[in-house]
Amino acid sequence: MVSLVTFLSYGLDKRAAKKGKRRTPERRLHLLALAGGWPGAWLAQKYYRHKTQKTEFRFMFWLTVLFNLGALMWMQTADGQRLFVSLF
């Protein structure tokens, strides 16, 4: 669900950029990616050809991907599973 919201947010930002209207803050796009929406962000970048030239933005995006993958791998460890089970 977060990926869908992220994908749509990129689309709305692209439309606003074309029309010269108020944009979605980059911080919000990064937070959506960090919250698990990075697959939607990655697809949106390809589909809309949006945010593909900004080196700093792409660097931060890939950091969110690495963080998510690292968290996923950690959740596969005994400590990560114990924490996950205790939270839910």
Q: How confident is the model at residue 32 (pLDDT cuts 50, 70, 90)?
A: very high
pTM strictly above 0.85: no
State the pLDDT at residue 66.
96
Tokens of residue 63, six digits: 């950091």
At 53 the pLDDT is 86
pLDDT band at 9 (very low <50, low <70, confident <90, very high): very high
Domain ranges within the chain, ordered by starting residue:
2-87
| pLDDT(85) > 90 | no
Q: Token pair for residue 23?
A: 């944009």
Query: What pLDDT score was predicted for residue 78?
Result: 83
String of DSSP letters for 4-42: HHHHHHHHHHHHHHHHT-PPPPHHHHHHHIIIIIHHHHH
